[in-house]
């Protein structure tokens, strides 16, 4: 069994209004030190042992379902799990 | 300047209907290998150099604004940035 952690972020050129809103709230609450804040997704998948190549599998799922490749980037890590 | 990466996940005991829905879609598309899928948030903050202790600052922001400690766990990493 494998544990896959996927980090999905908006591409640098894409505005992140949700992140800006949260940054604004933090500034009003006295956390003006925060210069930039961007919000992405974090996915944890548990994947059964399979004959398919794990990298191919994860990339396919990311590109077809889990991310929007037009506006998002992703990276992932694969760990052995029990 | 520091770059802080915060990973927010639902506590294990909390159901994740969004994750289950995505897992269901993947299964229908031929990715039945995925046994479990949970979706959380991933935040990237850029924080100006400050006299405040960075760990205290990040924990305060997480607990007051960025996460819901009743249903979510978080962990974070601090990196030096230029």
How many angstroms separate the CA atoms of A67 and B62, rounded?
25
Instruction: Provide the pLDDT for residue A81.
Output: 84
Q: Which residues of A touch B (CB under 8 A)?
A: 1, 7-9, 19, 22, 25-26, 29, 31, 33-48, 50, 52, 57, 60-61, 64-66
In order of start, what are the domains of chain A with their CATH numbers? 2-80 (3.30.1280.10)
Give the side-chain half-sphere CA count within 13 A for B74.
23
| Nearest of B56, B64, B40, B71 to residue B4 by alpha carbon | B56
Q: Does the interface ipTM go beyond 0.85?
A: yes
| Nearest of B17, B69, B40 to residue A7 by alpha carbon | B40
A3-51 confidence digits (pLDDT tens): 999 999 999 999 999 999 999 999 999 999 999 999 999 999 999 999 9
Using alpha carbons, list the distances in angstroms from residue B38 to A64, B9, B13, B53: 17, 8, 12, 32
- Tokens standing for A30? 């006295």
The sign of the dihedral angle between the CA atoms of A11, B21, B14, A82 is negative
For residue A82, pLDDT over 90 is answered with: no
- Which DSSP category does B32 fall into? T
Tell me if B42 and A47 make a contact (CB, 8 A cut-off). no
* B64-80 average pLDDT score: 96
Provide, as residue numbers in chain A, all residues whose Cβ is less than 8 Å from the Cβ of B50.
33
- Which DSSP category does A69 fall into? T
Instruction: Provide the pLDDT for residue B81.
Output: 84
B43-54 confidence digits (pLDDT tens): 999 999 999 999
């Amino acid at each position: 069994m494998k544990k896959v952690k996927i980090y999905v972020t908006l591409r640098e050129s894409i505005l992140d209004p949700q992140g800006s809103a949260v940054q604004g709230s933090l500034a009003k609450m006295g956390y003006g030190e925060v210069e930039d804040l961007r919000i992405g997704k974090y996915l944890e998948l548990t994947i059964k042992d399979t004959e398919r190549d794990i990298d191919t599998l994860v990339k396919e799922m990311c590109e077809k379902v889990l991310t929007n490749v037009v506006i998002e980037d992703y990276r992932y890590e694969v760990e052995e799990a029990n």
